[in-house]
Every structure is written in C-alpha cells, then in structure tokens.
Structure 1
Amino acid sequence: MMWPPPLGRAAIFMPMSISSDAALKPSLGIIADDYTGALMVACYLEAAGIYAPLVFDAKAAVPGARVIVAGTRTRLAPVEEALSDIKAIADAFTQLGYSRLSYKTSAGFDSTERGNIGPVADYLADRQGIRPVVMAAGFPEFNITTHQGYLFYRGRLVSESIKRFDPLTPMSDPDLVRFLSRQTTHGVGLINHIQMRQGPQAVALAADALAGAGNGHIFFDISDDEDIEIAARFAIARELVVVASDPFAVEYTKMLASGEGPQKPAPHHAKGPAAVLAGTVGPVILRQLEAFAKTYPVLSLDLLDPRGSEAVIGGALAWADQHIGAQPFAISTANDAGAAERAQAAFGPIAAARKAEYILASIASALRDRGIRRFVVAGGETSGAVVRSLGIGAVRAFAEGPIGTGFCVAEGPDPISLFLKPGKHGGDDILIQALDHMV
C-alpha cells in the first residue's frame, strides 16, 4: 500500500464517527508479547467501559466484542517461534472479522538485538499491506519515558538504570531508534517530543518526510500523556499498524472503540483456597515475599537442588498439602540474588528461567487438582507458564481497582481466579493485598 496522502490538522483531530451498527462489529485485535501486559491492557479497557475479552489460545477466540486481546509468550521466544505464534493469533482474529491488528509490547520495549519487536512489526505491516508502522515505547504514569528516541527508566537512561542488570533483556543501548534498527531491514525514523509540541500538522509533515525517505517504521517519543494522544490520533487517521507499549495501546483502542454498545456485567471471583507462585527474581519480589511471610507460610525452592525437578515438585506439593484449605501460602523459586546468579551460571539465563517456569507450572496444575481456585502469580513469563498449565484459554479481566490491574477470572462451571503480577511491580504488601481483593 502506498503511503497515505498528507492529512491536515482537522483530519488528524477529527473525532471518529461510528454508527450504532459499526459499534457492535469487530474492530481491533491486540496481540501482547506476554500475559501480564495483555491483562493490564484488558483491565484498563474494562475500566473505560470497553468489553475486552482476553485469550491465551487462538482456539479460544470467539466473536462478540469490538476489541479482543491476546496474551502470548513472544517476548523471549526465538524469532521463528514468535512469528508462528503471532500468525496463529492473527489468523484467528482475522477470521472473526477483526480488521485491524496491533502488537502490545512492554513499556521499555524489552527485547534483544535480534528481536522480536522488529520482526513482528514487519510481519504485521506485510500482512496488512500498510507502512510505515507507528512505534511508541514508555509509560509516563510509571516514570518510563522516551525523549529524542532515548529510553528513560524511572528518570535515568535505561542503560544506567536497574534494567541494565536484567538477565534476559538488559537493554544496554538507550537509543531505541538505533536499537530497533538492528531488528529490521526497514528504516526506523523518529518524530521527537519537540516536533510533537509543534502540533499535528508538523507531525503529519514530519511523518511524510520520513516515509518518503524510505523508513518503514516511525518511532514516536512518549515524554508525557499528551504525546500519547497526538501519536494515537495520527495512527488512527492514517489507519496505520501500531506496535506500542501499554498506555499507547490503551489510548489508541479507546479512541478506536468509541461508541461501543452496552458493557457486559462485571465478573465475579472464584471461591476456594488460594496460593501464591513466584518465579520472578530480584529485590522487589524478595521484599514482597518477606512481607508475605510475616503472615503466611512461604516455601523457597532451589533450582540447583541435586534431587532434580520432579523431586523438588513432589516435595513442594507434600509441603502444600499441609496448608491447603487452612490458609494461603506461597511457593517461590526466588531465594536471593546470589541463588539466581548461581542458577543462571549453571544453566544459562534462559534455561534457568524455563526450569523455574516448569517447576511452578507443574505445581500449579497439581494445586488446581487439590482444590486451589485462586492463584496469585508473580512474573510475566511465570504467569504464561502457569496459565498454560492450568489449561486456561480465555479470561475476563477486572477493571482497574485500588491496587491497579492484574485480576481476571476464567469463567465457567468451575471458575479460577488469577492475579498476574509483573515481576517489578507493586509495593511490599501487594501479595497479601491481592489475596484480600480476590473475594
């Protein structure tokens, strides 16, 4: 498809006009690169009055909503595997009539130099015949921003922040335009915060110039919430593919889905015993587990236990049997920073993470069979492994509440409630708070 003709100020800011019939038709399929991020978006949309079912399996996607969200595990998957998963979800969404597809990334565009953001952006652009792709990283609410194409994490360049120690996606290069250019053969151009402050006409002219110079992707600074609004309106006016972080994805969807029909009744949490499973590592979860341990029992597992994974799983379940039905409890593969480093040195970062996920996912499945119906899960990749082990294909998200997003329920005759927490999010008492809210 040729680059759309230039649009003036009025066209960019013209509100979307959607008829009552169109408001009930499928409009947008959002594919997220992990489960916790997908749930966060669905929660924000539900809070905005937009019914947004969340699926974890392409086969679970069903019609009945203008917006649908899919959680995948494509952030860390090999490129070929990630693209295969994206294709399966995209095919399912297209068959259901969702004419637009977007990709939701983490706030910091967590990835490696090989991918997967660039390859997925190229795939969606080729599939829909639309270039350039609109890209945007950041989450101003949590002090994650981009300026002049550079990523700042909590007020510091990402390369100087705690993110530089991330064992899987350390993000040592703060220049996201340069970093993304290593993931795609198409050029990545920048529209910076200063240009956006000059108004939508300046943005349109800058975008036309970048596209005319052969750039297949245009990266927008997200220094504040106004940047998000300007860039989202531009993406809608030009009908472009969007690859962006949470707040951009939410704002873009809210604009696109305006005029939706009546909201479905709010969901209800499942009843029954509860357990916490923590697979993330780092000081945040260690503080949270320490706070949890003041009230409830906690079992820490050692990935280097010489007995092997199956024995570790069996021992954890024997321990859990003493507590199920009496009180909530936590099982964690996060011991201390030293333990995590030793496991990564022994197995490699990816293999160590997958080992922890396998152990906790196996435990989750067995706990479900023992009657656990409320799960608090810490860690994005761990959340994906646990959800799959529980055989959950789709959930209904709860609107953002007093402790934020992350709550959902797999509805049906035997419901299961979940709180899926990104590893670094939340205060020290969030695990206890989550259990208190799952009633």
Structure 2
Amino acid sequence: MTNSILLGAIADDLTGATDLALMLARNGMRTVQVVGVPEEDADFGDAEAVVVALKSRTIGADDAVAMSLASAMTLRQAGAEQFLFKYCSTFDSTATGNIGPVAEALMDFLEVPIAIACPAFPAAGRSIYQGHLFVGSALLSDSPMRDHPLTPMRDANLVRVLQAQSTAKVGLIPLDIISAGPEAIRAVLIKAKQAGFGLMIADAVRDADLRVLGEALSGARLITGGSGVAMGLPDNFRRQGRIGTEPVPARMIAPKGKSVILSGSCSTATRGQVQAAIDAGRPAFRIVPADVVAGSQTVADIANWVLEHSGKEPALVYSSDDPDAVLAVQKKLGREEAGLLVEQLMANLAVILRDNGFSRFVVAGGETSGAVVGALGVHTLQIGPEIAPGVPWTRSIAGPDLALALKSGNFGAPDFFLKAWDLLDD
C-alpha cells in the first residue's frame, strides 16, 4: 500500500457511512467510502479519511464485532491514527445491542481505556440533554422511532440503553461541562477513567457543542457516535498542519443513463417523501410483501413496469408503509423474513435495471441501500454534493460506474425525491 490515512471510520450501515463521509469531506478531509470489510492490502490512494460501510446494525453481536475488528485491522495497517465507530443518530440497536459490544471490542483492540458515545446531530434534529436523546422536540421514546420495524427505540435514556449492552461502566458528560470547553471535557474524562468508567455519553444540543467535543478529542485513539461528532475532528489535523481544505463539489457529473427511486424505508420522513412524489405525479409502484410471497408480484414484473414508465422523470418503486401495516406483515411473515424479502427484491430489481441502462439511483433506507449496493457490485464511493443534511450524491470509483444517493430513512425534506436530481449534470 502507498497510502497512509489519518482517520479510519467504521459505520454499522451504508447510509450512515455515507452521512459520515459527507461530514468529513464537508469539513475539508479527502475522504473515500468503502463498502464492506476492506481487503488487507487495500490501497486508498491519497485519502486522508476512509469510511468503511458495514451491514452490521441488526446482525448478531458476535458477527458485528468480527466485521468491525477486521475493518479496524485494515485501517490500522493503512496508517490510521484515530478511529471512529459510527452508528445512527437515533442510536438504533437491537435489544441485545451491537453498539456496546462493538465499542468495547474496539476499545480492547486499540487498548483504549475510555471512550465517548455521542450520536447527536443537531442539523438533523438529534440532540442529547442530560443523557436523553431527543428527535426534534420529542424524546426518542416518543418519536416515530419507537415503532421502527427493526430497531424500535422505546427508551430515550442513552446511559441506561448503553449500560444494558455493555460490560463497561457507562457515565455522562453533561452539557455544562461541554459548554465549559475542551479542557473541562478532558478533565472529566480523566476523572471518569480513574473512577472505573469505560464509556461516556456526551450531551450536545448545538453544532458548537460537537465542535468543542471534537477539539477535546484531539489525539483520542477511539471515538464512538453519529456523524455529527466528526465535524470537529478535521480541524485537529488542520491545526497540526497535516491537512488542507478540500471543498465538496456543488454539483456532480453523473454517468449517462436512466434514473430510478427505490424506497424500502418505512420511516415517517420517507413515507412523506413517497407521498410527495406521488402527489407530484411521479409514476409509482407499491411493493406488497404478501403479493411477492404469493407470486403475484415478481421482480421481473416490477422491472418491466419501471422500464415502461421511465421517462424524463424517474419512476418510484416503494415498499414504505405505516407502522400498523408493517407490523401486520411482520406477524405474518416474521420480522427478519419480511425485511429480507423486500431487501432482496430491491437488490435484484436494481441489478436488472442496471443491466437495462439505469445508472442513477436514489435509494431510501439503510438496510435497502446495503442490499442494493452489494448486489450492484459497488466497492468504493467518491463523495459528491450534499442533497440534504447527511445525504450526498456519490459516484462509484470501483465497480460499475453509477451515481448513487443513499438516504437514511429518517433524513431529508418531503421533496427529497423530487429535488435530488437537480444537482446532477450529464
């Protein structure tokens, strides 16, 4: 390998990795995103930061740990000095929890006695106060995340949630300490380590809080959190004279070809975006899982429909539905089976469309994005212009030449599916 990176990040899903890669690129670091555990001899070129996108959020904890450690080993071999374990700004996790086990495994691997945990992302309405996570003005437990089909979040107290997943003692860095500045934060971490704490939830309600936290973590070997916590990290390297300022492009040249929207997310935000596209007259096909099982909806049928309805405006294929309908499907098919059914169908559909001249994809939902990108054979992504906070256009730089907008279900304004295309040039 010829590269020597500064920051190595491991994300537990694809859209979260893209969100983080955008955050780092927007703050001046040359950043590439890698899909899946990178090869041991991977060459990252002149990248200053590498973000590894795993599909480990809802798998078994042992498997999530193994994938994360394998990624960390490659990143360390590539020269990474600082590591970031990235998870969702709504702290998505299964009941047994992958956040705690992966964080502790990375702490052991990197010989780190204490690390912070901060999923706050104020620009997307995620803030932490007194250890409680808010989505907008509502507690996480009162937000639509309480009915998430894969990771229902019904406790807003992150100290309590993380403690249930961890063997390490979990504590809190309250907002008054964050507001007091980097030295106060460092002093609390030293005292917490001496008191036997291993993981510390950090309050943050403004971008300024995250930048102060980032400055306090200069030289920290491991950080865990959402993409927001990364906004202050590049400045640490810049103050050391080790990076410059690499602007994110305002527009992106996309490969020639047709466009399509694939939506597998059932989040409130995505359902609103689906409805806005339908209201605007975009052609839309709704996937009904029961019909897929019965054989009355096949991937070939859906692909033919898209080919017939693709024109100047991209067609929309969606499985998004309200929580009661999703729960009914899960009861009938099983929670994991229902999710996998839609993911696999979307993945197979994307391959057929790619082979029929489609090169521009908007994909909604972390699990759906992971399945689609894996099926398309995309391995490395270049970060392009920002469509919405946390969501850029990307272009593949290994594998087939495609433009991809990979959107977390919770992100984006109602007109996201309508406006995303405005940032692409032929």
Query: Same fold judged by TM-score > 0.5?
Result: yes
How far does residue 334 in structure 1 lie from its aligned partner after superposition?
2.1
Contact 1:55 1:61 in 2 (8 A): no
Q: What aligned pairs does 1:209-224 form with structure 2 within 5 A after superposition? A: 209-224=191-206
SS at match of 2:79: coil
Cα distance per residue 1:1-39 (max 9 Å; x no partner): xxxxxxxxxxxxxxxxxxxxxxx8421101111111211
How far does residue 257 in structure 1 lie from its aligned partner after superposition?
5.1
Q: 1:75 to 1:306 in 2, by over 3 A?
A: closer
Query: Normalising to structure 1: TM-score of the pair?
Result: 0.87
SS at match of 2:47: coil
After the TM superposition, which of the residue ranges 126-135 and 405-414 deviates more from structure 2?
A: 405-414
Match of 1:228 in 2: 210
Match of 1:3 in 2: none
C-alpha distance in structure 2 between counterparts of 1:247 and 1:318, whole Å: 41
SS at match of 2:291: coil
C-alpha distance in structure 1 between counterparts of 2:64 and 2:6, whole Å: 24
Q: What aligned pairs does 1:175-186 form with structure 2 within 5 A after superposition? A: 175-186=157-168
SS at match of 2:327: helix
Match of 1:11 in 2: none
Match of 2:272 in 1: 287
Contact 2:29 2:234 in 1 (8 A): no
Cα distance per residue 1:127-167 (max 9 Å; x no partner): 11111012112111222111111111111221122221222
Pick from 254, 257, 263 the counterpart of residue 272 of structure 1: 257
C-alpha distance in structure 1 between counterparts of 2:253 and 2:291, whole Å: 40
Aligned residue type for 1:345: K
Match of 2:75 in 1: 93
SS at match of 2:276: helix
C-alpha distance in structure 2 between counterparts of 1:285 and 1:221, whole Å: 28
Q: CA RMSD in A?
A: 2.4
Say if 2:376 is the partner of 1:390. yes
Say if 2:30 is the partner of 1:44. no
How far does residue 410 in structure 1 lie from its aligned partner after superposition?
0.8
C-alpha distance in structure 2 between counterparts of 1:218 and 1:395, whole Å: 32
Match of 1:297 in 2: 283
Say if 2:173 is the partner of 1:188. no
Query: Normalising to structure 2: TM-score of the pair?
Result: 0.90
Cα distance per residue 1:32-68 (max 9 Å; x no partner): 1111121122223223332101110313652421211
Aligned residue type for 1:260: I
Say if 2:230 is the partner of 1:249. yes
Identity of aligned residues (%): 30
Cα distance per residue 1:364-395 (max 9 Å; x no partner): 01111111000010111111111001000001
Q: 1:306 to 1:25 in 2, by over 3 A?
A: closer
C-alpha distance in structure 2 between counterparts of 1:309 and 1:215, whole Å: 54
Match of 1:334 in 2: 320
Q: 1:399 to 1:319 in 2, by over 3 A?
A: closer
Say if 2:8 is the partner of 1:29. yes
SS at match of 2:85: strand
Contact 2:7 2:81 in 1 (8 A): yes
Cα distance per residue 1:198-225 (max 9 Å; x no partner): 3444333322221111111122111222
Contact 1:55 1:395 in 2 (8 A): yes
Match of 2:243 in 1: 260
Q: What aligned pairs does 1:345-424 form with structure 2 within 5 A after superposition? A: 345-400=331-386, 405-411=391-397, 415-424=401-410
Match of 1:12 in 2: none
Aligned residue type for 2:327: E
Q: What aligned pairs does 1:68-87 form with structure 2 within 5 A after superposition? A: 68-87=50-69
Alignment length, in residue pairs?
A: 415
Structure with the greater alpha carbon radius of gyration: 1
Contact 2:30 2:46 in 1 (8 A): no
Contact 1:273 1:327 in 2 (8 A): no
Match of 1:437 in 2: 423
Aligned residue type for 1:299: F
Q: 1:199 to 1:273 in 2, by over 3 A?
A: closer
Q: Give unmatched runs, 5+ long, in structure 2.
A: none
C-alpha distance in structure 2 between counterparts of 1:307 and 1:216, whole Å: 46
Aligned residue type for 1:148: Q
